[in-house]
Amino acid sequence: MGLRRQLGELGQHIDQDERHLADLSMRAAAAGDLTYTTDVRSPSVWRLAKFAYVAEQYGYRYAGLDPDLGSSNTPLFIFRRLPDAGERSRRVRQDYPDALTGGRLPGLRSLGGRLVPTPEARQEVKLLHARIKVDYAAAVGREPLTKWFLGIPAAILLMLVVNGEVDARGLLVGAGLALGLVLLLVASRWFLLVRQKAYQRLLHKESAQQGNRPVR
């Protein structure tokens, strides 16, 4: 699903929230607790980082992963409504009236058929990408590998039985395949953790730089 379609869903959600908040009895209780959740609509987390940047311009700030993955085991990313979300949304819709129908988007520009961050937004998108990567790696890292260590050999053995290849040669090939898949799984988890550490260092560096900047 494209970035604009995903933003279109956010726009519909914003309108729903505005209708809810029009009820004065709900305003005080709900205004700070409204959220929007979405999943990764493509293999690119970078696209989700661009979506997160634009979503914040509309008044919804990235707030991490939903701790409850649900039955689908698909990570859902939470965007929490900011106190000035109504004002932000109205301003963006006024400045970018055709944003969701092919026009300009805040902080993004078209380059070679792709939407890329403008120089002013590039660093913020990069940091959002790092945050999402860290959160996602932490969620994946909590999943035990035991089920895979048991499931992979069992699946390969079942395949051998179904194909009638439960002999010395078949078992040897199956064992090699199972070992290769397990090693690949372990290597991918290790690589994920290494990347997580790299993104954490980037975030810590940015946090330290912000702390050292003089107050104007």
Residue-wise pLDDT tens digits, 151-177: 888 888 888 888 887 788 888 888 898
- What is the model's pLDDT at position 216? 39
Per-residue pLDDT at 124 exceeds 80: yes
- What is the model's pLDDT at position 182? 87
pTM of the entire predicted model: 0.71
- What is the model's pLDDT at position 29? 40
CA 106 – CA 31 distance, rounded (Å):
24
- What is the model's pLDDT at position 26? 40
**Averaged pLDDT for residues 175-195:** 85
CA 170 – CA 185 distance, rounded (Å):
22
Looking at residue 10, its amino acid is: L
Instruction: For residue range 41-91, list pLDDT tens digits in order.
Output: 555 788 888 888 988 998 889 988 877 655 455 678 888 888 888 888 888
Of 45-54, 123-132, 157-166, 204-213, the least confident? 204-213
Per-residue pLDDT at 128 exceeds 90: yes
pLDDT confidence band for 121 (50 / 70 / 90): very high
CB 142 within 8 Å of CB 71: no
The 3-state secondary structure of 66-83 reads CCCCCCCCCCCEEEEECC
Those residues whose C-beta lies under 8 Å from the C-beta of residue 1, and which sit 6 or more positions away, are: 41, 42
